[in-house]
Structure 1
């Protein structure tokens, strides 16, 4: 049996409040029920900071419940207070400031990017349209599914990772624009239900290269994965975010954090294994995967 709720008795609404992190307006949704899910819309487990508060460390959505009215405010960003729509009680949001380091690198352009990829604006616009035309009777799951359908994979969103979390940093290659290092991340990166500890750090050789390529690579990798259901996009090395060399105070101090490919780059792999790879089973498959991965990223933004 499926229970339906009366839209006259249980009014759903939305609005905006100011983020105390970015000083910009962020969206808030007022649910007339107690939201008891343990997982965020992105699939990550929520962190409970009290009996009435929980949030997602991946996309920083906050679920603030009112214990008096059994309602829930869902806040899409970081702020310090939440007010119940029904009883007007104000609740102070509990959040350790150390937890927001993943979207607070100190560079305003890069931080705006990190905040923007956690935005649910298109889903909120759809939500607003739905509640305006909601049926007399509805199920809460119909509303929640608007946000849950947004995520196409289990990958965590890009983030800023403090340089102090990396150990065993060693140079392994150098190209025309960048220097490649291998490093161990203490806590690891969660990706597709596994944890990666050995990662690649890609440091641009100067500020000019960093200004031209850093943000572009972050954006292309993020949108290539999140906006594409094609399997072959996963043939491209993933970028998990970036870190910053604390010894340098320039743009080239920001370093891409990328997936480690144990077999090396394609050139080294072919040099080592070319005679053992037959055309029918391996070489054409490699070429096919590279072509599809390239096409997926080439059409980003078009």
Structure 2
């Protein structure tokens, strides 16, 4: 809900949802309203301290609102629309570093480190990239790809819940769903002889599906 003033008769009008124009209830004049595409994200308050990351995070928030309003029509049930678009809509968000507890390194590779940690009592995996104090194009492309894979049809791809920054190293990190079985390499090492070829082909199919 947004309050807007008519510049002709100074009447305050109430707008529900996202629309391109508004008609004054008093003088009936119509005025255009700036669209999401014209919003300058540099005017939005920073959360991460990095412009590119903040721009992406704000885009995901506006995208949720846009999807919500797009589903509204005169026959809609507002409660159902809310449940389908807001209450259950998963999105990548900024998560302050102070919310992370019990941080423990569990793996290290050429890209960086993997940690196991807790956030509000839930176990998560945290992926820290090398030299991510100034996020590279690769870092930004990966987080955008993870966002696109949030649809339910990508159920076999590990979900990224948010981004944070290590306050001691200033490195940015992905906060992801924790996989109890470890990574695919460890899983195959421990269970390769126990897995049927049908199961192996199913795993390969799901991995390929995630890359499409």
CA pair 149-223 structure 1, distance change in 2 beyond 3 A: farther
Q: CA deviation at 1:141?
A: 3.0
Q: CA deviation at 1:210?
A: 3.8
Q: Provide Cα deviations, 1:237-280, integer angstroms capped at 9, x if missing partner.
A: 1111111111234xxx1111111111011110011111111112
Q: Is the 8 A contact 1:221 1:238 kept in 2?
A: yes
Tell me whether 1:240 sits opposite 2:161 in the alignment. Answer: yes
Q: Is the 8 A contact 2:48 2:54 kept in 1?
A: yes
CA distance in 2, matches of 1:109, 1:142: 36
**Superposed CA RMSD:** 3.8
CA pair 240-294 structure 1, distance change in 2 beyond 3 A: same
Please list every run of 5 or more consecutive structure 1 residues that lacks an aligned counterpart in the other structure.
1-62, 66-70, 77-83, 88-101, 131-138, 189-196, 296-302
- 3-state SS of paired residue (1:141): coil
- Greater strand fraction, Structure 1 or Structure 2: 1
Q: Is the 8 A contact 1:200 1:259 kept in 2?
A: yes
CA distance in 2, matches of 1:143, 1:153: 14
Q: Is the 8 A contact 2:17 2:69 kept in 1?
A: no
Tell me whether 1:114 sits opposite 2:35 in the alignment. Answer: no
- Greater helix fraction, Structure 1 or Structure 2: 2
CA distance in 2, matches of 1:171, 1:85: 59
- 3-state SS of paired residue (1:110): helix
CA distance in 1, matches of 2:127, 2:206: 23
- 3-state SS of paired residue (1:117): helix
Equivalent residue in structure 2 for 1:203, among 124, 128, 133: 128
Partner of 1:270: 188
